[in-house]
A and B are shown apart, each in its own frame.
Chain A
Amino acid sequence: MHQNDTICAIVTGIGAAGVSIIKISGDEAITLADKIWHSQVPISQMQSHTLSYGKLIDNFTEQLVDEGIALLMKGPRSYTGEDIVELQIHGSYVGVTYALELLIKNGARHAEAGEFTRRAFINGKLDLTKAEGIIDLLEAKNRQNLKFATDSVAGKSAEHIHQLIDDITEIIAYLEASIDFPEDDVPSLKKEEKQEKLYNIISDIEEIVQKSNKGKYISEGINLLILGEPNVGKSSFLNLLLDEERAIVSEIPGTTRDTIEEYLTIGKIPAKIIDTAGIRDSDDLIEKIGIDKAKQYIEKSDFIVYILDATSDYDKEKDQIYHLVKEKEKIILLNKTDLVDDQKILSKYKDVFIGEKILPFSTQDHKYLIEFENVIEDIFIDSSYDYNEGTFITNARQKGLLEQSLVYIKQAASSVETDMEDDFLTIDLYDAKKSLEEVLGIQVSEDILDQIFSKFCIGK
């Protein structure tokens, strides 16, 4: 089981630039890759040691994640001696992690340190001298094991997952007790009770996934919307981010009449950025259409950059715009601070926008841009990820496993829906339990029986 799983990992460093390679190895490497890789010829029908161009598509949502090249190396003529598929996709953090999570969700397991090499050795692909190194690595892992397990999911979420495991165990215990002790006085769960219990678990797992989820941002990057009154420097800000004169900038208010969309990365985050027409009370029809459009965009955006002109005071217009975006995640840029004393401005606006992120800014000075990028990364990348240590991979592993467990529970729920017999529920519930246990790095097997005997009075 553990030793035969199909494993996957990112085998190149993750940087902002270049190509990342995800390696998948094991019996199911090809089947798994085909689930998410769309190209003219399915990987299963490719010749060994050939490449094909294709698209990486989330098989659960049908969303396009990335595109790139798939390389097939069939066992035993591969590094590990097993079937290997390598997906070479763009190097962005989000895309690669997303792909990895997707593979885990589909049933792959994240490779442990040195596991590809170990498999290569076990399958007779490496020479003897390498074996010593592998054992050292395993020894280290053995020593670390406990620490690793507790470190990886900390505090609240670990507690929460433990709770979920208990909940699933409880349902299994009910089902198993009535299966193994059919004539004992064991209460059986009614259809509605099963459904209620399962739906509760589903919504709990979904909540955890969402909390840890920058998934929306990861699949599409973020949708970033620039808003503000006319002439505050919105287009200048866009040009600064792009480092080119993309939008027309002029001192005439209302220069930008329609929205402008551009793609770029902010730090490590891919983003679609939208520059809009300045918002003001207007009778000009064309401008009005632009403004209405801006309001629609607010709805769809993940993040708002609200730009104010630091040289002017807070007034009714600014307040109206603020109310449009009040509920959204945002940052407030006090632009043109090169013209005024930014500290004074800052303290003035801090009183107005209580609890908001406010950044003094100038499109004329690059140092502000770096500050802005830091803020974005803080918001969209969990600070607990340590990119150099690679712990973010552990996290992709966990998230993939959580989503895997969700798939199983949903299958169980649909078995209840279609009135399948209890035995068929247990199959998926055991799998879900196992996935959750793997998130925490624990393994429990006797606990079902313990639960049965403590909960029910067995002994017909």
Chain B
Amino acid sequence: MIPAIKFENVCYEKDELSILNNINGVFNKGKITTLVGPSGAGKTTLLKLCNGLYSATSGEIYIQDNPIHSYEPTTLRRKVGIVLQSAPIIRGTVYKNLALPFTLQNKKLPENEAIKFLNDVGLNESFLHRQAEDLSGGQRQKVSIARTLINQPEVLLLDEITSALDPTSVNEIEQLILKINQKYDVTIIWITHNIEQAKRVGDYTWVMMEGQLIESGETNILWTNTNKLIQNFVSGVTEA
């Protein structure tokens, strides 16, 4: 297996507080790795390290075998795209939001391109000129996913992207991500609160707790694991 991303003794501290503690592991190229763990485990922090929004305090992250800092930050961030948990939107229309990755490179996103991406996330053409601020939480999440896809990232980082969606939409988005994964050979790291989702979509799964990677491996093997912590977590004991 070729690692798309490799973590080597990665620690991340903030205000002298340890957020991530000695993370080691690989994310295999072209595969979907689901990332589970209770709130505050450090999952979001780990994704932001991959996208270059944060830098590790110690240790090294490799992107396709090159140290992460050997990439220009803007190049890295287009290559390793993230859909942020809070699904932030910028003021203006849905089109303006979708076109943002292009605008940042002084390019213009053709409207039909934008519509294609909208359709991909289950929104129709009529949304294009709506004000993004008027959208529901779920619709914002969909726009946010489409916006990241516009950069055509080689690695896609997803941070609880279906948390505000109804079951039908969840299914739609899961199918979309699986399709993108297969069609473009995109490597995906997918944080989810939903254990069933983690099992459904993951080739591999990482279980995180209190800043540590406590278990990782092929998804279907992992859930038969006897590790008490994981069993507790799976059965929802550590979930608030």
Query: Do A and B bind?
Result: no
- Chain A residues with a Cβ under 8 A of chain B: none
> Chain B residues in contact with chain A, CB under 8 A?
none
